[in-house]
């Protein structure tokens, strides 16, 4: 059992802390937000993540998991200090490292004589870990052994607990063999393969992985647009492509674009990182541009089918979160879409199983939030599926017929097989597949 401190209880920090406590370590998570810390100490999770609250309660009760606002308590004799604070996007797309720098100062102020292995979980530009070491040693008033390890996370929101135990790899980038071995030992109970490399490569693996996944999505979305015009079916195309193991069948779902706290931010940051070494990352800039075009697709379809335009029309938006099983609205396609529809004079009635509270802060004020799918659909001129929640996938298509003024469905996430849609009496448009009218 190791004594571990985690700084930052956002998504990455909290999931990491809870999981490390669950495999038997003594974990103290530190956050500056007192109200949040008090709630977490009662086992209340500030984020919605399947399975997380249960693991929190279990490990608090058995004394493995603690939350505090006091860095000196968290850092006292810690074997490893994890940095898991945010690296928000600056106006130019680069990552803002102010929170990371503050943690470095806090470590210098409170680290005990044992020294520390400082592990960076936050997604940080190449070179940051060495800067962290510099920031800490510069601020230290005595000579201590400080080692830094880059240990990026690859968890997906909505399945983070599952991913922690079933990851494809744990990347450890370090100059120190001893520090790398410590992190390897800490993670051993997860049983996930370890890939060991230098610090800069580990930092780059994180950005390159997210950029590559984003590229897969934008690629399939472009093919989808062409399929839509040629009468081909993007699902069959993706399936046929994915059977080639060199391509792989994951992340080939066409839709109205990727969102979330990672892909949009990390792709822009990598363009900036490339720019910093005088390289124009043309491919990645195109990936971003393609993604920004996707939300226009349902708007164009709606305008085409409602020939008189969207002025005064009721549009039901089903799903607001950037993907299912999360209440996260960050960079969700729904934000741009709702704005475009509102600008065209549509009256939006929206429903999401859990993201509506967060959505209220981000969508236009005129959006009406319905209490159920049926209420959102009631008397609507057109329905747009934005997030592929099971609740919508399992919806009998007769509900569209019964509730809507005219059953026009624009499915931004290809939720239903076309053969199923053909059995219903609805006009159905989706992404990169033939329409069913």
Report the alpha-carbon distance of residue 212 to residue 204 in Å, rounded: 12
For 80-109, the DSSP string reads EEEE----PBPTTSPBP-HHHHHHHHHHHH
- Nearest distance from residue 252's CB to ligand UGA, in Å? 6
Phi-psi region of 391 (alpha: psi -120 to 50; beta: other; left: phi over 0): alpha
Q: Which stretch in 153-161, 361-369, 370-378, 399-407 sits in contact with ligand UGA by CB under 6 A?
A: 153-161
Q: Is 260 in the site for ligand UGA (CB under 6 A)?
A: yes
| Span 190-229, contacts to ligand UGA by CB under 6 A | 210, 213, 217
| Span 303-322, contacts to ligand UGA by CB under 6 A | 322
Query: Nearer to ligand UGA by C-beta: 136 or 269?
Result: 269
Q: Is the dihedral of CA 327, 329, 335, 336 positive or negative?
A: negative
Pairing of strands 170-174, 194-197: parallel
Q: Is 258 in the site for ligand UGA (CB under 6 A)?
A: yes
Q: Which stretch in 32-40, 57-65, 255-263, 402-410 sits in contact with ligand UGA by CB under 6 A?
A: 255-263
Q: Is 31 in the site for ligand UGA (CB under 6 A)?
A: no
Listed residue (411, 418, 436) closest to 426, CA to CA: 436
- Give Dmax over CA atoms of the chain in angstroms: 75
- Nearest distance from residue 183's CB to ligand UGA, in Å? 18
Q: Is 154 in the site for ligand UGA (CB under 6 A)?
A: yes
Can you tell me which of 15, 55, 252, 426 binds ligand UGA, judged by CB under 6 A? 252
- Nearest distance from residue 154's CB to ligand UGA, in Å? 4
Query: Nearer to ligand UGA by C-beta: 28 or 334?
Result: 334
Query: Nearer to ligand UGA by C-beta: 195 or 251?
Result: 251
Size of the site for ligand UGA (CB under 6 A): 19
CA dihedral 127, 130, 135, 136 (to 10 degrees): 150
Task: Please classify residue 397 by burial: count the beta carbons closer than 10 Å to its beta carbon, then call 0-12 exposed, 13-18 middle and 19+ buried.
Answer: middle
Helix 199-230 and helix 128-139, axial crossing angle in degrees, nearest 10: 140
Query: Nearer to ligand UGA by C-beta: 239 or 402?
Result: 239
Can you tell me which of 228, 255, 319, 353 binds ligand UGA, judged by CB under 6 A? 255
Q: Which stretch in 31-39, 246-254, 394-402, 419-427 sits in contact with ligand UGA by CB under 6 A?
A: 246-254
To the query of whether residue 415 is one of the catalytic residues in this protein, the response is no
Q: Is 125 in the site for ligand UGA (CB under 6 A)?
A: no
Q: Which stretch in 108-116, 257-265, 298-306, 348-356 sits in contact with ligand UGA by CB under 6 A?
A: 257-265
Q: Is 4 in the site for ligand UGA (CB under 6 A)?
A: no
| Span 315-374, contacts to ligand UGA by CB under 6 A | 322-323
Query: Nearer to ligand UGA by C-beta: 156 or 368?
Result: 156
- Nearest distance from residue 35's CB to ligand UGA, in Å? 25
Q: Is 82 in the site for ligand UGA (CB under 6 A)?
A: no
Q: Which residues pair with 94 in a beta bridge?
A: none
Q: Which residues pair with 29 in a beta bridge?
A: 6, 67
Listed residue (42, 110, 47, 98) closest to 74, CA to CA: 110
Q: Is 184 in the site for ligand UGA (CB under 6 A)?
A: no
For residue 393, the tally of other CB atoms under 10 A from its CB is 12
Pairing of strands 408-411, 382-385: parallel
* H helix or E strand, kind and range, residue 40: helix 34-41
Report the alpha-carbon distance of residue 174 to residue 156 in Å, rounded: 24
Give the residues lining the site for ligand UGA (CB under 6 A): 153-157, 210, 213, 217, 251-253, 255, 258-260, 262-263, 322-323
Q: Which residues are catalytic?
A: 262
């Amino acid at each position: 059992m190791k004594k571990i401190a985690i700084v930052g209880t956002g998504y990455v920090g909290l999931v990491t802390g809870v999981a490390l406590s669950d495999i038997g370590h003594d974990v103290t998570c530190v956050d500056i937000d007192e109200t949040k810390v008090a709630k977490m100490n009662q086992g209340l999770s500030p984020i919605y993540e399947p399975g997380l609250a249960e693991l929190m309660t279990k490990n608090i009760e058995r004394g493995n998991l603690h939350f505090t606002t006091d860095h000196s308590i968290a850092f006292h004799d810690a074997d490893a200090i994890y940095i898991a604070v945010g690296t928000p996007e600056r106006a130019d797309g680069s990552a803002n490292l102010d929170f990371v720098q503050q943690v470095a100062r806090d470590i210098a102020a409170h680290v005990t004589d044992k020294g520390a292995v400082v592990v960076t979980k936050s997604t940080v530009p190449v070179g940051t870990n060495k800067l962290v070491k510099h920031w800490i040693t510069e601020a230290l008033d005595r000579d201590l052994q400080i080692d830094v390890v880059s240990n990026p996370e690859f968890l997906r929101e909505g399945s983070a607990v599952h991913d922690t135990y079933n990851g494809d790899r744990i990347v450890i980038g370090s100059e120190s063999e001893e520090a790398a071995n410590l992190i390897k030992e800490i993670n051993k109970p997860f049983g996930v393969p370890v890939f060991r490399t230098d610090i800069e490569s580990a930092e780059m693996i994180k950005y390159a992985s997210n950029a590559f996944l984003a590229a897969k999505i934008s690629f399939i979305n472009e093919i989808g647009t062409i399929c839509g015009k040629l009468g081909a079916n993007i699902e069959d195309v993706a399936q046929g492509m994915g059977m080639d193991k060199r391509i792989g069948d994951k992340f080939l779902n066409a839709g109205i674009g990727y969102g979330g706290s990672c892909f949009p931010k990390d792709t822009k940051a990598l363009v900036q990182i490339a720019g910093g070494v005088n390289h124009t990352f043309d491919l990645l800039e195109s990936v971003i541009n393609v993604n920004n075009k996707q939300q226009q697709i349902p708007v164009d379809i709606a305008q085409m089918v409602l020939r008189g335009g969207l002025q005064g029309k009721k549009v039901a938006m089903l799903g607001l979160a950037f993907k299912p099983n999360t209440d996260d609205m960050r960079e969700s396609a729904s934000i741009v879409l709702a704005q475009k529809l509102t600008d065209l004079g549509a009256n939006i009635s929206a429903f999401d199983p859990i993201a509506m509270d967060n959505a209220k802060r981000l969508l236009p004020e005129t959006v009406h939030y319905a209490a159920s799918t049926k209420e959102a659909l009631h008397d609507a001129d057109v329905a747009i599926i934005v997030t592929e929640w099971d609740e919508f996938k399992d919806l009998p298509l007769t509900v569209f017929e019964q509730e809507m003024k005219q059953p026009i469905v624009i499915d931004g996430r290809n939720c239903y097989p076309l053969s199923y849609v053909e059995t219903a009496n609805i006009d159905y448009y989706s992404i990169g597949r033939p329409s069913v009218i």
